[in-house]
Amino acid sequence: MIPSFHSPKVFAITLNWNGKADTVECIASLKKSDYPNIEIIIVDNGSTDGSVSAIRTEFPDIIIVENQRNLGYAKGFNRGIEHAYERAADYFLILNNDTSIDPAAITELVKIAERDENIGFVTGKVFWYTHRDVFQTIGRFDEPSLLIGDHVGSGEVDRGQYDDIQDFNFVDDVFLLVRKKVFEVVGGYDPVFFLYYEETDWCARTRRAGFRIVYTPQAKIWHKGQIGKSEKLLSPKRTFYLSRYEVPFMRRNASRPQWRAYLIRLILGSDRIFLRHMKHGRYKWAWAYLKGLCLGFFWLRHDIRITAPISRPANTVEG
């Protein structure tokens, strides 16, 4: 454990939308952390399941930021980040509400971050909640035409094969320690991304600003949600959002050659994706995919911030 008088201030932030039971369990795991200088912020996105009252009753000492409506993932988390920034946070720990974090994880994340002021993000091992030694992800492979590839380690049993500290270009944000300086220089999540691609866009902007993204095997978390689901198992809603926000992510972060390669790949491959859904009778999926792409490209006509960082902290949060 890092001695408390040398321990930077960490605010753990999670987002709740009608996830009362999961969020309560997540908070309980954070309360078991061995890190000595942590506060917890719950951002509630207009829940109607009694989440806020339940959390206040069980954990009266934590901070709850209440939104009157569902602001989405990016805007919702930005509210919490801004709240923590105003309270002199040194680091923000972003984590999903359907997780249970290891007691030593925050200490291990901070240890790595404190080694180098150019480290902007730190993450660790993400396991399945129901299969405690099976990875969901430790990072993302690079993929030339899409920038991001599949999840590293997905579905593998932990046998020590990922026990080295390493840098990634992209990681998931199931849990992610963020240096305050990243927020000051880069901003938070881009609210353009209502759902999906918000963390990959943040990774891209953070790397362009000169920060490192580091993985440590000593930090662990268990996640209930789905990562890396096959096309067959995606819901129509998720299929829509993934295709909808892939377009702005690529337009904002790809180089010109990468953008051209993406368009060529899309032209040559999109019909196959559509026809594959149709062939298997997944008509809602096919429509959701095409609708998402169309709306993504329609958005390009109105975008005024291609590859530019979003606003600094004072203007980052909306709502």
> In sequence order, what DSSP letters do the residues of 213-232 get, joined into one string?
EEEEEEEEEEE-S--S--GG
Q: What is the arithmetic mean of pLDDT over 40-69? A: 96
Per-residue pLDDT at 178 exceeds 50: yes
Per-residue pLDDT at 40 exceeds 50: yes
Other Cβ atoms within 10 Å of 3 Cβ, number: 8
Q: What is the arithmetic mean of pLDDT over 280-299? A: 87
Domain boundaries along the sequence of the chain: 4-226+310-316, 231-300
Q: How far apart are CA 254 and CA 270, in angstroms?
A: 19
Q: What is the arithmetic mean of pLDDT over 50-63? A: 96
- At residue 10 the predicted structure's pLDDT band, cuts being 50, 70 and 90, is very high
Which has more pLDDT, 294 or 28? 28
Query: Which pLDDT score, from 0 to 100, does residue 225 have?
Result: 84
Query: Which pLDDT score, from 0 to 100, does residue 279 have?
Result: 81
Query: Which pLDDT score, from 0 to 100, does residue 303 have?
Result: 65
Mean pLDDT lowest among 102-116, 158-172, 213-227: 213-227
- At residue 290 the predicted structure's pLDDT band, cuts being 50, 70 and 90, is confident
| Pure H helices in the chain | 20-31, 51-58, 72-86, 105-113, 180-185, 198-208, 236-253, 256-279, 283-300, 313-316
Kindly compute the dihedral angle of the four CA atoms of residues 99, 105, 109, 110, in this order, to the nearest 10 degrees: 120
Query: Which pLDDT score, from 0 to 100, does residue 143 have?
Result: 86
- What pTM does this model have? 0.88
Q: Which amino acid is at 228?
A: G
Query: Which pLDDT score, from 0 to 100, does residue 227 have?
Result: 64
- String of b and e for 154-180 (b: at least 16 CB within 10 Å)? beeebeeebeeeeebbbbbbbbbbbbb
Contact 126, 98 (CB under 8 A): no
Query: Which pLDDT score, from 0 to 100, does residue 238 have?
Result: 87
Q: What is the arithmetic mean of pLDDT over 190-200? A: 90
Angle between helices 51-58 and 20-31 (to 10 degrees): 20
pLDDT, mean over the chain: 89
Per-residue pLDDT at 318 exceeds 90: no
Per-residue pLDDT at 4 exceeds 60: no
Q: How far apart are CA 288 and CA 259, in angstroms?
A: 23
Query: Which pLDDT score, from 0 to 100, does residue 305 have?
Result: 52
* Side-chain half-sphere exposure of 287, counting CA atoms within 13 A: 5
Which has more pLDDT, 319 or 279? 279
- For residue 170, give Cα distances in angstroms to 54, 83, 192, 202, 244: 35, 26, 19, 9, 20
Q: How far apart are CA 189 and CA 204, in angstroms?
A: 11
Per-residue pLDDT at 177 exceeds 50: yes
- At residue 262 the predicted structure's pLDDT band, cuts being 50, 70 and 90, is confident
The residue assigned the tokens 């866009």 is 201
Q: What is the arithmetic mean of pLDDT over 305-313? A: 43
- Name the most confidently modeled range: 3-17, 120-134, 264-278: 120-134
- At residue 219 the predicted structure's pLDDT band, cuts being 50, 70 and 90, is very high
Query: Which pLDDT score, from 0 to 100, does residue 232 have?
Result: 46
Query: Which pLDDT score, from 0 to 100, does residue 6 have?
Result: 74
| Backbone φ, ψ for residue 7 (5° rounding) | -90, 115
Q: How far apart are CA 8 and CA 271, in angstroms?
A: 51
What share of the chain has pLDDT > 90, as a percent?
69
Q: How far apart are CA 276 and CA 306, in angstroms?
A: 32
Per-residue pLDDT at 198 exceeds 90: yes
4-226+310-316 classified as CATH 3.90.550.60: yes
63-67/38-45 β-pairing: parallel
Other Cβ atoms within 10 Å of 67 Cβ, number: 18
Query: Which pLDDT score, from 0 to 100, does residue 266 have?
Result: 81
| Backbone φ, ψ for residue 137 (5° rounding) | -165, 155
Query: Which pLDDT score, from 0 to 100, does residue 2 have?
Result: 53
